[in-house]
């Protein structure tokens, strides 16, 4: 719409110059000095139009740049949630595998502490963009999940082998599926907010 108004204004100004020149100026009686003055006046008018056009282009370019920077910042916050959700999804598998009789080495020496660190990380994230984009509930769910998983390992960390896995596998399966869903959803939002900018930053699921 702005572009249409600008074109309309240019056409009107050119028409006014043409009408004034046709009806007011006696072209046959113009001497060299008059011709020069008339050309200078017309040139001045078009210089004003050109300056207005350049200023308008500069403003629009600056607005686009600021909008792009804002979208990158918003997408970066969503990307952080994408990675955190993917990490939680992975931890739900590996911590239980470590507890099972099938695992012969330590993956997470302090699983409760690892989950607690994730909860603290989520709590420390800036939330302005997350709230603006309507994803605050997802952030809170990730924090609740990490906190609950930490509590499970704090309370039942003494259980050995498949005893722990059998007791908590339903909870961890549920958490795994939800974290996978949130991670995928956050990636879709990243691409929606800032298409193509973070393509090489996607976290693959375990």
Residue 106's pLDDT is 76
Task: Output the pLDDT for position 20.
Answer: 56
Contact 138, 185 (CB under 8 A): yes
| CA–CA dist 172, 155 (Å, integer) | 15
pLDDT at residue number 117: 96
Q: Name, in order, each residue with C-beta under 8 angstroms of 106's C-beta and a sequence gap of 6 or more.
A: 98
Question: How far is it, in rounded angstroms, from Cα 81 to Cα 46?
Answer: 53
| pLDDT, tens digit only, all 206 positions of the chain | 455 555 555 565 565 555 555 555 555 565 666 656 666 766 776 677 676 667 666 767 666 777 677 888 999 999 999 999 999 999 999 988 888 776 667 788 899 999 999 999 999 998 999 999 999 999 999 999 999 999 999 999 888 878 988 999 999 999 999 999 999 999 999 999 999 999 898 988 66
Q: Where are the domains of the chain?
A: 2-63, 70-201
For residue 23, what pLDDT is reported?
A: 53
Backbone angles phi, psi at 195, to 5 degrees: -60, 130
Measured CA distances, 170 to 38, 99, 126, 141 (Å): 87, 15, 32, 17
CA distance 10 to 53: 10
Contacts of 103 (CB under 8 A, 6+ apart): 97
> If you search the block for the tokens 């702005």, which residue do you land on?
2
Separation of alpha carbons 168 and 155, rounded Å: 12
Residues 6+ apart with CB under 8 A from 135: 78, 81, 186, 189
């Amino acid at each position: 719409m702005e572009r249409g108004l600008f074109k309309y204004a240019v056409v009107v100004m050119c028409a006014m110059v043409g009408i004034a020149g046709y009806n007011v100026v006696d072209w046959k009686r113009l001497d060299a000095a008059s011709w020069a003055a008339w050309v200078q006046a017309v040139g001045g008018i078009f210089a004003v139009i050109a300056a207005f056009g350049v200023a308008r282009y500069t403003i629009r370019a600056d607005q686009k740049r600021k909008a792009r920077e804002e979208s990158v910042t918003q997408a970066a916050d969503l990307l952080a949630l994408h990675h955190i959700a993917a990490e939680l999804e992975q931890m739900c598998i590996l911590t239980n595998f470590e507890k099972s009789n099938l695992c012969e080495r330590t993956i997470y020496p302090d699983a409760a502490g690892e989950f607690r660190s994730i909860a603290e990380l989520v709590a420390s994230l800036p939330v302005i963009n997350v709230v603006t984009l309507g994803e605050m509930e997802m952030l809170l769910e990730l924090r609740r999940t990490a906190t609950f998983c930490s509590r499970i390992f704090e309370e039942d960390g003494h259980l050995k082998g498949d005893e722990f896995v059998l007791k908590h596998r339903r909870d961890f399966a549920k958490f795994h599926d939800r974290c996978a869903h949130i991670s995928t959803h956050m990636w879709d939002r990243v691409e929606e907010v800032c298409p193509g900018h973070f393509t090489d930053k996607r976290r693959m699921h375990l």
